[in-house]
Amino acid sequence: MFLQPLTLSLSKGPSLVQGLLLLIAALFLALPAAAQNLSVDINQGISRPLPIAVPDFTTPGTVDTAAGTTTTLGEQVADVITNDLASSGLFRPIDQLAFTTSVSMPDVTAPRYTNWRTIGAQALVTGFVEARGDGTITVGCYLYDVFSQQALVRQGFNTTPRAWRRAAHKCADAVYSRLTGETGYFDSRIVYVSETGPATDRIKRLAIMDQDGANHRFLTNGQNLVLTPRFAPNQETLTYLSYAQNRPRIYIYDVETGSQRLVGDFPNMSFAPRFSPNGRTLVFSQARAGNTDIYTVDVNSGSVRRLTNTPGIDTAPSFSPDGRRITFESDRGGSQQIYVMNADGSGQRRISFGDGARYGTPVWSPRGDLIAFTRMGGGKFRIGVMRPDGTGERLLTDSWQDEGPTWSPNGRVIMFFRSERGGGAQLHSIDLTGVNERRIDTPLQGSDPAWSPLRP
């Protein structure tokens, strides 16, 4: 019951490469109720991450696949899981050089606990990669409490060999979820704006990558200025702003096919788009005669509804995960501040009141309990969070210019971009507790990150 139910993903076209992850529940027995003695408290800003051992995944027989042999894949799967767990800051994967035993097929389901206990491992992840007759592979994923000698996770994923990384991320998510009590976020992607060239003539391209930086590819060629890409709930569709034909307007882009279309045909600049939680609506801004207001547009019918109608700049709207409310920023009160309103535009209310500071780019957490923002004050732009009623404000970063937060699918990590004085921007992430700040490596410079929902 604590296993995350995975849905079937039989996607179209290129899915043979990308998707087709099947949970083979039948192969794996249900496990006893959660053991209470091994868990990770993710609310404390972990100072002592949990020691965990992730030996290479073994194979019942070395077989060539479209992505290398099952033996090689087993080593790579363990690497990806190790990297995922370490990046969360909650786990301390033990160096494989310290291991006193290797793992063969029988050890996968019956670990030699003593060997793992002696090197200080509290948790152990084992698994295998098996080639199947139909050209797919099965990745078996097991988690053990080394001290209580209990199995905590038994899960298997069937996938095309080329999508092996996703199976590894799914395994890491299962481990994370079982030990923290929260859903994971490793099997997810980042879309962002790749930047290069001088500030006065910057080339910007949409780019997409796995959450860990793998499978990076550019989606646009840099001919047009592009900004603020955001995922649809289906993780396969994006909305973003393009200056194609020198007219800043909103587009919807299909990641798999590369096809795109203009949303509406507004006479004025339309920008700052985001999907509603059901994916059927975009909320966005339209500027007209020096006045910017917030609208929604039905993605299919194109019907438009105006939500704000006050003098000033109302922009950067973001839906609550239940779709009932929208947070946005407005300078109607004299300076840029954060507001919340109902999804029909009623009940508009200011929630940010930091002394003398401006607030922008509010983004509702996927858990619904917090709103992340950029706070501008004291010569700094910092990322912070507050409750939707404006209480509990907490700043997470401290730098010259941090901006544009986006939430991990489980609402535990925030990614943003950091601009350097004099030019240049890079993606960074930080835990909700304010620890584990990391730079996210990208081939070029990067800005405007958006984290996808967890992939099915």
Partner 1 sequence: MKTAISRTLLIGLLVTATACARNDEELPPPPPPQDPVQQSQTQTPTPTPNVRDTVIPGSMADFMRQAGADRVFFALDSSTLDAEARDTLRRQAAWLDQYENVRITVEGHADERGTREYNLALGERRANAAATYLQQQGVDSDRITTISYGKERPAVEGSSESAWAQNRRAVTVLSGAAAS
The residue ranges that bind partner 1 (CB under 8 A) are: 198-202, 204, 225, 227-228, 246-248, 268-269, 271-272, 285, 287, 289-292, 313, 315-316, 329, 331, 335-336, 360-361, 374, 376, 381, 401, 403-404, 419, 421-423, 447-448
DSSP reduced 3-state for 351: coil
**Beta carbon of residue 245, minimum distance to partner 1 (angstroms, whole number):** 11
**Residue whose CB is less far from partner 1, 113 or 243:** 243
Q: Is 119 or 287 the residue whose CB approaches partner 1 more closely?
A: 287
Distance of alpha carbon 67 from alpha carbon 88, whole angstroms: 27
Please report how many Cα atoms fall inside a 13 Å half-sphere around the Cα of residue 179, on the Cβ side. 28
The answer to whether the CB of 387 falls within 8 A of the CB of 394 is: no
| Residue placing its CB nearer to partner 1 in the complex, 291 or 433 | 291
Shortest Å distance, C-beta 232 to partner 1: 19
Distance CA(417)–CA(444), nearest Å, equals 13
Distance CA(2)–CA(152), nearest Å, equals 9
Q: Which is nearer to partner 1, 85 or 415 (CB)?
A: 415
Nearer to partner 1, 177 or 361 (CB): 361
Decide whether 154 or 274 has the Cβ nearer to partner 1.
274
Closest approach of partner 1 to the CB of residue 210, in Å: 24
What span, in angstroms and rounded, lies between the C-alpha atoms of 374 and 401? 9
Sheet holding 249-254, edge to edge: 226-231, 237-242, 249-254, 260-262
Task: Please name which of 212, 65, 77, 177 lies closest in space to residue 132, comparing C-alpha atoms.
Answer: 65
| Cα separation values, 409 from 91, 265, 383, 437, 442, Å | 19, 32, 18, 18, 20
**Size of the chain, expressed as the number of residues it contains:** 456
Whether the CB-CB separation of 101 and 53 falls below 8 Å is answered with: no
Q: In this complex, which beta carbon is closest to partner 1, that of residue 223 or of residue 303?
A: 223
Q: How far is the CB of 437 from partner 1 (least distance, A)?
A: 20
Least CB distance from residue 369 to partner 1, whole Å?
A: 23
Task: Determine the residue type at 342.
Answer: N
7 versus 245: smaller Cβ distance to partner 1: 245
Residue 274's contacts (CB-CB under 8 Å, 6 or more residues apart) are 230, 239, 282, 283, 284, 317, 318, 319
Quote the least distance from Cβ 327 to partner 1, whole Å.
13
- Rounded to whole angstroms, how far apart are CA atoms 372 and 189? 19
CA distance 176 to 40: 9
Q: Which residue has the tokens 């007759």?
A: 133
Please, what is the minimum distance in Å from the beta carbon of residue 254 to partner 1? 24
Residue labelled with tokens 């929260």: 182
- Nearest approach, Cβ of residue 200 and partner 1 (Å): 6
**Residue 448 Cβ, how far from partner 1 at the closest point, in Å?**
7
- Closer CB to partner 1, 236 or 448, in the complex: 448
In the complex with partner 1, which residue's Cβ is closer, 382 or 412? 382
**Cβ atoms 425, 418 nearer than 8 A:** yes
Is residue 97 helix, strand or coil?
helix
Please state, in angstroms and rounded to a whole number, the distance separating the CA atoms of residues 44 and 208: 32
Q: How far is the CB of 171 from partner 1 (least distance, A)?
A: 36
Cβ 206 to partner 1, closest distance in Å? 15
CB closer to partner 1, 121 vs 383: 383
The neighbour count for residue 334, using CB atoms within 10 Å, is 7
